[in-house]
Structure 1
Amino acid sequence: MKTKISLFSIFMLFMFFQATAQKKPLTHDVYDDWKSLQSTTISNDGNWTAYRISPQVGDGILEIKSLTNNKTYTIDRVGRYSFSKNSDFVVATVSPEYEKEHALKLKKTASAKMPKDSLFIVNLKSGEIKKIARVKNYQLSSESTEWIAWSHETPEEEKAKKEEGEKSEEAKKPKSKSKGTELVLYNMVSGNESRFEGVVEYELTEKGNYLYFEKDEADSLNPAGVFAFNTKSGKEVTLNSGLKDYKKLTTTEDGEQLVFFATNSDKKDDQYFSLMHWKAGSNEAKIIADTTTAGVPNNWMVSDNSNLRFSESGKRLYFGTAPRPVKYAYEEDSTMLDSERPAVDVWSYNDPYIQPMQKLRANRDKNKTYDVMMDLKSMKMVQLGTPYLENIYIDAENDRDFVLATDDQSYRVQSTWDTQQPRDYYKVDVNTGKAKLLMQAGRGFMSLSPEGNYLTWYDPEVENWFVMDVATETTRNLTEGIDVSFANELHDSPSMAGSYGSAGWSEKDAAFFVNDRFDIWKVDPKGKVAPENVTNGFGRKSNISFRYQSLNRDDKFISMKAPVLLSATHEWTMQDGFYTANLSKAANPTKVVMEDVSFGRLIKAEDSDRVIFTKSTYEDFGELYVANSYKMDGLKKLTNVGAQEDPYNWGTAELIQFNSLEDGEEMQAILYKPENFDPNKKYPMIVYFYERRTNSLHSHPSPAPSASTINIPYYVSNDYLVLVPDIKYQLGYPGPSAYNHVVPAANAVVNMGFVDKSKMAIQGQSWGGYQVAYLVTKTNMFAAGGAGAPVVNMTSAYGGVRWGSGMSRMFQYEKTQSRLGGTLWETPSRYIDNSPLFRMDEVNTPLFIMHNDEDGSVPWYQGIEYYMALRRLQKPSWLVVYNGEDHNLVQRKNRKDLSIRMGQFFDHYLKGAPMPEWMANGLPATLKGRTLGYELVDETNSTVEGEGASLMKEKTKGNN
């Protein structure tokens, strides 16, 4: 019997290797059609789920699947979609066919003749689908079971006439000046509809009781105006008409009130807006605020740049005011030509922000508004924000007597070198506008409790949580004396460590819940009851991190009466799952599920216990599942998108251990192997790294063109091993820290016996790119390196600017990721010792560098410094620059190009593949846009040839 089992096992193993051997490797051609699962949702009654299955390029599908029977609706090319409140309908926008649209674009078809989106309304009970052509957008009432509104595109024939200038008799008639289009209000239950012409903006209320809309001026008989349509009575009311411009229609939650901005001026540079208000039952909208209103500061105005917000009760309105524009005599001087005006930037040492930040903030600062509260009963207006108190935090859900405000203006200069800048906190009386200082130079972020009784914050300087009683303004340390840290225990930079966050409050602000690394603590804001570890220390004992999960979006409190759901992640094995716990007292949580997978967020039906979620591993696609409740009963798999992977050699992922050379601490790395892995074979290996990454063990990446780093599925499928080690950093020594983790991690795999140690490479982007550049100055163990956007000279980078944010780069080196912990003049040796540029002569590793000419994070000149040094030393190196691209590639065409070039580079150095033309002979500027140089060349006859030789090759053998 044992012999039979053994023979059967051998046969099955043979069949397995036969099956995997027949699987093909991934190629760059698979990217466009590779599908993902998107926009998963569940209907309110829990009886339906919907999701999109979309390729990276091309037409996707929407599947609407019954969770109670076998009924499924499939609609092609869906973008946005929504379930109705009663779960009887699905509304979806349907895009034109990708291939047809692409063909028309190639023919340079006029925009008027391009196909437009359609709208589908699916009746889930009858299966009937109503289709509406040329729809611009739609609004579906979130609290109504009947009403939907949509806006049409300009009629095709009308737009074509305008664009082509037809001179027919019809075209000679006076044309409407309106830029508006047709608006349709439709009752999904009765099928009745109402149509309104020339609409430019509309707002369908949440309850569906009103449709508000704005029309612009069509002609002298049809002026611009704002209108209300009562869906119950079917009557239309003119709220205001005859003014030049209207903006930002905003309603209360019950739909019974409307506010909007209006002006009678058409001078864009000199417009003063009024704020108008209408309440159901009124004949017309009335001005409630303008430049003459009591409470508006002198020489200020109501600002149409501000947001309009009603409080949840509808008793208050929040908007903004701003100083009137000031015109300087110099800018108004008409005696000067533009060519005579100096173009100059003045950088002052005491500017709050440096000039690049000022430029990026210019429009925001120009349009800055200051918050106002208006009591809609008394119509009293109170100015809350001022130029000296810019940031007001409005809680629109509650009509409290105060709001919280912050001011950081005194500390802005230091943001140049420290992003953890303090701020002053104030309590502002909404009845008077008076501000009272609560905390000066606070480092934490204050948060108000749901009932408004307390303010809580974490102070990173002392690594404790604090509470302030709003009524008495007394402050208490909530976590002092607790024998665990509430600061990030893995924090390894010179900045202050952040917290693990808070979970929320119990009802009536009775208890506040905060997280440590593993467990959840209940603390009494009054200090009368001692802090209690409500997960009973089980998390720390088990190495499991517990976090509270709210399944109902409207929940304001954590229940103390019934068990709540906790997410659970094992920090060493990376198992993922859920537990339940009663947070009213200390007790071990109860396991619901714990698996070697990664669970996606649980989405619960609003009116049912049913939940949907995804779960994945590296091997298994993150399919959608449904369960009858969070207890995972009635578990059922809903999708099979992962079937697209079956023809391909995929791979596996596992955790391995290694010891840091720094202090001997046991660390972890992820090792990815091909699906047909043979332990007796010698594989090439690429090591990729960026901080700590092992928590991504069970993520399931898709084959996709690269924005900057290696696509792991592509390389693994093509018979590479990929290693991703965690790195722990020592203050002041980021380069050595990388060496002390990457090198032993790679050697740990080499010692397993299946890696060709002469065919290993490293690759990283940004911070990872820097570490690649550093490592190749310290070791020759890697046959090739790929460095994306690397800093190589910390002395020059230190004084530079992050052009994407306009910030000085000083903070990067002193406080955060670069971890040097001091200024250039305090610790110059650290800057030099950690800078690869000063040891370029020690590099013997061929390098593939990407650095783009509009990189807003790492200055492009760093890539140039790197390339110039390597070029001067005649080290094999290639710098790839994508024009107009930022730190990571955005344009898909460039991502595809990078993927191909990086793959060819590693294939050459790790697999012995021939060099491509662009590596062997370069790509001269005269050939830019004419050839890509992907084709492989015979290196035995290859020399570094000039442009003429390349052109001759192009003619004789062809190119892509």
Structure 2
Amino acid sequence: MMIKKILPLVFLLSAYGTYAQEKTSPAKAPAPMNWKDISSWRSISTFSVSLSNDGKWVAYPITTREGDGELVVKKVNDTTIRKYPTGGASFVNFSFSDDGKWLAYKEASKYSEIQAAAKTPGKQLFDKLILVDLATGKQTTIERAGSFSFNNKKSSHLAVSIVKERSGMPKPDDAGGTDLLIVELATGKILNIGNTGEFSFNKEGNYLAYTIDATNKSGNGLYIKDLASQQTTVLDNDKAVYKSLGWNEEGTAFALLKLTSDEKYKTEKGVVMGVKNIGKSPALTSYDPAKDSLNFPAGQTISKNRRPYWSEDLSRLFFGIAPLELTKKEDKPAADSAKKTVDAAPKLTEAQKLENLRKDTAIKSISDLKNALAKLDTAKPKAAPAVTKNNATKPDMIIWHWQDKRLQSRQQVMEMGDKNFTYSGMYDVATGKFKQLNDSSSRSLTILPKQKYAVVLDDRDYELDINLDGQNYSDLYVVDLKDGSKTLLEKKFYMPSFTSRPQPSPDGTKFVYGKDGHYYVYDLVAKTSTNITAAVPASFVNTEDDHNVEKPLTPVVGWSSDSKTILIRDLWDIWQLSLNNKTAAVNLTKNGALTKTRYAGRYSLDPDEKGIDLSKPVYISLYGEWNKKSGIGRLEGGKNGLQPGIKQLVWEDARIHSLSKAKNTGVYMYAKEKFNEPTEFYTSNEQLTTAEKATANAPDKNKYTWSAGVQLVDYVSDKGDSLQGALFLPAGYEKGKKYPTVVYYYEKMSQSLHAYSNPDFPGGGWNPGMYTSNGYAVFMPDIVYKMDDPGMSAVWCVLPGVKAAIKTGVIDENRMGLQGHSWGGYQTAFLVTQTNMFKAAAPGAALTNMISMYDLIYWNSGGGNMSIFESSQGRFKGGPWENWDSYQRNSPIYHVKNVTTPILLLHNDKDGAVDFTQGIEFYNALRRLKKPVVMITYKGENHGINKLENRKDYAVRMMEFFDHHLKGKPAPDWLKDGIDKLKLDEHLEKRAF
């Protein structure tokens, strides 16, 4: 017994001694980050930092690429910090209760266990759910946890679904229900509801709606539980599947679907259900299209692919409509194979027809009955797919036709979307009437707030041309949902950018849209259209958009909550505009154009808001176009709208972003970062004057060297445009010393001056922080484009920018390299045909022949490249046959004989954006001319590299390539001599890490 007691004490003393020794030993000097260090690099995902609704806690996961992470929970303005292990998952699912007193998070298996399981087919791993009482730190663990949710405002219960243990592979008809645990937070008592399918709490949190999905559908149904009384009400039972359950925003009603199977159809038959009067006597409304042959379209059903919902006034239900797909002949039993035709619907006896008519609740008069009988008499059977007499195998082919509005490749990509497309239906509860809201002439229907009106953008007459030249046109219609009437507002409505599209007011009676360089408001009630920008002493045309489109507009900031005012920004300032032009427009921010500060947009701090409340302060994002500062400003609210004059709350030589607010109190949080300082979050008061650091990102950052700082380089392009470039200094920078430099670009890049680059294995191989850590300077210049000269524009902008950067004394003009991916890859491939300033270039996924690329396909979308060249990034007027000299002049392949720069070319064989042939053309031309080129292809990879092992490999090879040519390091074997195919496996095995 004595021995057993002493041993742990000895262990503790030993551990303490080691800790003390480590604390007193000299710290290691920071070292350049190696690519292998990234595997264990720990950092915050900036999108996952969460502030509790009471403003007392901040939680954020710290994860690593190949290892285990943790969830950090810190008390605001306090030293209390708790850390919880989260396993090897790259994403951590966690949530605060609405009152901020509880935290729930999931802990995955360890990274090593996940890796081992991946090598064992069928191996099942489970997550744990940990419930934390934030006041005491007490934890409760629930094994095999799936989805979970607190009960919103009440914060009294937690629901957790339990993941089933599999025995073999799941079958399509297996029941989806599982155990649902309801945890009473105050007492820790747990209620188990078996075979639960879907579940959802209402907004108030006093009711739980859920479905049962049991084996053989026994007991399947819809239930609602009153959490206060613990009373459960059965709302519906049937041998059906209940799904797509969703509450309305107020939490006073919910809707869902009930689906039943019929062996004659592949498609499940749908019924829409709505429940309201929650808290009183729940009223269930059910609409079954099978009982409405008078109004519901034949051969259709309610779609399972769209979630139904209530109108805001709870008078109507909205849902999707889709075709009933007959079971194909080959799917039927052999006894049925001799049949040559089948009806569109199953053949019914006269008695069955009469019985169906008797059940049809839509028939309420003799006139209705006559119409239904006439519909039955005129229904004609449809022919089944032809079956060859000799059971010959059908060819597998595609027919491409010149009049196809969408390329066959586009149709293939969109096949499932087209197949699952649903039209919109509406059921009026009071009248018991169904109405189909759109058809093939109005597929793009958008229902506006309050569900009284809708808008339709019908591009059928222009779809072919849109897919050819990229200029977007549609006929703009207004739909009155009361009677379904459709009114044409604009014929061939031109949308040069998304900003021109209709944007509805919060009350749903108006929308703003862009036309011919102005904004108009259409009043749906008065049926009038008003130009609201004509009298404003500012232009809302985005003159900085250099694509081949006409008068693209700057964006709408938002509608006021009373739907009487609109905020719109020009290139610099935000304007407050009335809808009737009787009140003069007000420049709220005043000095944007004067100080070259862009008031870029508004922070929406209330997720439940309906428009902008102009009586309250509004927070605005600030960006200094020429000094690259950023920050947050505030406009004060007032009775007559926002008050002119903005107050700068935060304004720094840093990137300031991601402002949020605690829902139930006046605690605010925002993020700040610099190129060499990881993103951190700060909590503060409403004036942002009491900022306290709330996160501790990148805990290992002091082990490594970082960029010594940044410089902004001003220059003028060869065409007279004033531009800038961001120059990132190498770690350990010494003034007067010149450094090897990599130049990187993608259109405008100087705005990246203060953007933090988290160490990672990027999909294109490029990570600027890794290069500055390893002694490189990095320069990112801006490019602006002239029409018909996308390649030459890079020459006119990049080369003057580099020359200006050389004058800083940082860059060694004899050791400069180029890198870019995709469009940046194109610029790189083109630049090396126009200059010999650079000693190495690494274009990734580059367009190299603008003429052949024009007629190829963007396989990721299935669309043709023509529209990209004519109205998007290509910036050409017309096709090559109309503009041959421009296309040829800007194609790297036609100037390839000029190349003297060693090239590392990346092009993957399944690139769905820039066809693999573009890389092959460039590589073979360079090889034919015996130019120094190495091309790397990762099998099966797309436009960017996805697989981790390939990302690692390319990142290392690119740096080896630049190290050799810019630092003089020995060339690795693959770069010096290449690798024979027979030796490739051995080569790759040695390099893998």
TM-score normalised to structure 1 length: 0.88
Is residue 530 from structure 1 mapped to residue 584 from structure 2 by the alignment?
A: yes
Post-superposition Cα deviations, 1:213-261, rounded to whole Å, max 9, x if no partner, equal: 33334359x4543333332332334433342433323334425544322
Task: Output one character per residue of 1:80-116: Cα deviation in whole Å (capped at 9) or x when no partner.
Answer: 111111111111111111123324445x2742xx431
Which sits farther off after the overlay, 234-243 or 117-126? 234-243
Q: Is the 1:916–1:934 Cα contact (8 Å) retained in structure 2?
A: no
**CA contact 2:532–2:580 (8 Å) conserved in 1:** no
Structure 2 partner of 1:34: 41
Measure, in 1, the Cα distance between the counterparts of 2:41 and 2:324. Answer: 54
SS in 1 for 2:812: strand
CA distance in 1, matches of 2:99, 2:791: 59
> What is the rounded CA distance, in whole Å, between the counterparts of 1:686 and 1:625 in structure 2?
33
**Is contact 1:300–1:324 with CA below 8 Å preserved after alignment?**
yes
| Contact 1:117-1:133 at 8 Å conserved across structures | yes
Question: Which of 237, 240, 250 is the matching residue for 2:236?
Answer: 240
Residue equivalent to 2:799:
743
Q: How big is the alpha-carbon RMSD for the aligned residues of Structure 1 and Structure 2? A: 2.7
The question of 1:435 aligning with 2:486 is answered yes
Match of 2:606 in 1: 552
User: Is residue 210–residue 255 contact of structure 1 (8 Å, CA) maintained in 2?
Assistant: no
Give the structure 1 partner of residue 259 of structure 2: 262
User: Contact (CA 8 Å) 1:618, 1:652: kept in 2 or not?
Assistant: no
- Cα distance change of structure 1 residues 632 and 931 upon mapping to structure 2, 3 Å threshold: same
The residue that corresponds to 1:301 in the other structure is: 301
- C-alpha distance in 1, partners of 2:699/2:300? 63
Aligned to 1:289: 288
Say which of 533, 536, 553 aligns to 1:479. Answer: 533
Matched, 1:891 2:947: yes
Q: Which AA in structure 1 matches 2:96?
A: F
- Which residue identity is paired with 1:603? S
Partner amino acid for 1:473?
Answer: K
Deviation at 1:835, TM superposition (A): 0.8
Matched, 1:458 2:458: no
Q: Distance in 2 between matches of 1:405 and 1:227?
A: 37
Label 1:742 to 1:338 Cα distance change in 2 as closer, same or farther (>3 A): farther
Cα deviation, residue 212, structure 1 = 3.2
Contact 2:819 2:828 in 1 (8 A): yes
* CA 1:877–1:190: 2 relative to 1, 3 Å: same
1:438/1:473 contact within 8 Å kept: no
- Residue-pair matches, total: 894
Match of 1:588 in 2: 645
CA separation of 1:244/1:401 partners in 2, compared to 1, >3 Å: closer, same or farther?
A: closer
**Secondary structure class of the residue paired with 2:920:** helix
- Output the CA distance in 1 between the equivalents of 2:555 and 2:874: 25
Task: Tell me which residue corresponds to 1:926.
Answer: 982
Which residue identity lines up with residue 146 of structure 2 in the other structure? Answer: K
Classify the secondary structure of the residue corresponding to 1:602.
Answer: strand
* Corresponding residue SS for 2:746: coil
**How much does 1:144 deviate?**
2.6
Question: SS at the partner of 2:827?
Answer: helix
Give the aligned partner of residue 613 of structure 1.
670
In structure 2, what is the Cα distance between the partners aligned to 1:736 and 1:541?
32
- C-alpha distance in 1 between matches for 2:896 and 2:199: 62
Is residue 2:157 matched to residue 1:100? no
Distance in 2 between the 1:440 and 1:533 partners?
A: 33
Letter in 1 for 2:452: D
Query: Which of these residues, 550, 570, 576, is aligned with residue 630 of structure 2?
Result: 576
CA distance in 1 between counterparts of 2:547 and 2:126 reads 52
Q: How does 1:515-526 map to 2 (within 5 A)?
A: 515-526=569-580
C-alpha change, 1:581 and 1:214, in structure 2 (3 Å) is closer
1:602: Cα distance to partner? 0.9
- Aligned partners of 1:179 and 1:656: how far apart in 2? 58
* Superposition TM-score, scaled by structure 2 size: 0.86
- The verdict on how the C-alpha distance between 1:594 and 1:122 changes in structure 2, with shifts beyond 3 A counting, is same
Equivalent residues in 2 for 1:700-779 (5 A)?
700-779=756-835
Show the counterpart of 1:346. Answer: 399
Show the counterpart of 1:62: 71
The answer as to whether partners of 2:712 and 2:753 remain within 8 angstroms in 1 is no
User: Aligned pair in 2 of structure 1 residues 354, 115: CA closer, same or farther (>3 Å)?
Assistant: closer
Partner SS, residue 743 of structure 2: strand
Match for residue 119 of structure 1 among 125, 129, 147: 129
Given that 1:448 and 1:456 are in contact with CA atoms closer than 8 Å, whether structure 2 keeps it comes out as: yes
Match of 2:96 in 1: 83
1:679–1:278: structure 2 CA closer, same or farther, 3 Å change rule? closer
Deviations 1:747-787 (A, max 9, x none): 22333344332221111111111111111111111111101
Compute the displacement of 1:428 (Å): 1.6
Give the corresponding residue for 2:860.
804
Q: Does 1:824 align with 2:823?
A: no
Q: Tell me, in whole angstroms, the C-alpha distance in 2 between the residues paired with 1:120 and 1:451.
A: 42
- Structure 1 residue 601 and structure 2 residue 658: aligned? yes
SS of the residue corresponding to residue 819 of structure 2 reads strand
Report matched runs for 1:664-679 at 5 Å.
Answer: 664-679=720-735
Distance 2:832 2:901 in 1: 6
Once residues 535 and 503 of structure 2 are traced to their aligned partners in structure 1, the CA distance between those partners, rounded to angstroms, is 23
Q: Could you tell me which amino acid in structure 1 is paired with residue 258 of structure 2?
A: F
- Kindly tell me: are residues 792 and 563 of structure 1, through their superposed partners in 2, closer, same or farther at Cα, counting changes over 3 Å? same
Amino acid at match of 2:575: W
SS of the residue corresponding to residue 562 of structure 2 reads helix
Moved more, 778-787 or 261-270: 261-270
CA distance 1:680–1:801, change in 2 (3 Å): same
Deviation for aligned residue 1:697: 1.0
State the one-letter code of the partner of 1:247: K
Cα distance in structure 1, aligned partners of 2:197 and 2:390: 39
> 2:82 aligned to 73, 92, 97, which one?
73
Three-state SS of the structure 2 residue aligned to 1:918 is helix
* 2:469 paired residue number: 418
Cα deviation, residue 660, structure 1: 3.5
Matches within 5 A, 1:645-684: 645-684=701-740
The equivalent position to 1:183 in structure 2, one of 180, 185, 190, is 180
Give the drift of 1:277. Answer: 4.1
* AA aligned opposite 1:701: S
Q: Which residue does the alignment assign to 1:510?
A: 564
User: CA 1:331–1:206 in structure 2 vs 1: closer, same or farther (change >3 Å)?
Assistant: same
Aligned-residue offset at 1:522: 1.6
Query: Does 1:149 find its partner at 2:202?
Result: no
Which stretch has the larger CA shift, 179-188 or 909-918? 179-188
Rounded Cα–Cα distance in structure 1 between residues aligned with 2:289 and 2:531:
46
Residue 270 of structure 1 deviates from its aligned partner by 4.6
State the shift of 1:210 in Å. 3.3
| Residue 52, structure 1, aligned to residue 40, structure 2 | no
- Give the match for residue 321 of structure 1: 321
Q: Provide the C-alpha distance between the structure 2 equivalents of 1:211 and 1:640, rounded to a whole number of angstroms.
A: 38
Instruction: After TM superposition, list the pairs within 5 Å mapping 1:394-413 onto structure 2.
Output: 394-395=447-448, 398=450, 400-413=451-464
Match of 1:271 among 268, 271, 286: 268
Contact 1:494 1:819 in 2 (8 A): yes
- C-alpha contact 2:272 2:308 (8 A) present in aligned 1: no
Query: Please, which moves more after superposition, 761-770 or 572-581?
Result: 572-581
Distance, in Å, in 2 between the alignment partners of 1:617 and 1:146 is 42
Which residue type is aligned with residue 230 of structure 1? Answer: D
Q: Which runs of 5+ in 2 are unaligned?
A: 1-25, 330-340, 342-382, 495-499
2:417 matched residue in structure 1: 364
Residue 695 of structure 2 is aligned to residue 644 of structure 1: no
User: Does the CA contact (< 8 Å) of 1:709 and 1:764 recur in 2?
Assistant: no
Contact 2:255 2:308 in 1 (8 A): no
Secondary structure (helix, strand or coil) at the match of 2:479 reads strand
1:308 and 1:905 map into 2 onto residues whose CA distance is 56
Structure 1 pair 490/51, CA: closer, same or farther in 2 (3 Å)?
Answer: same
1:7 alignment partner in structure 2: none
> 1:377: how far off?
3.2
Structure 1 residues 179 and 254, CA gap change in structure 2 (3 angstroms): closer
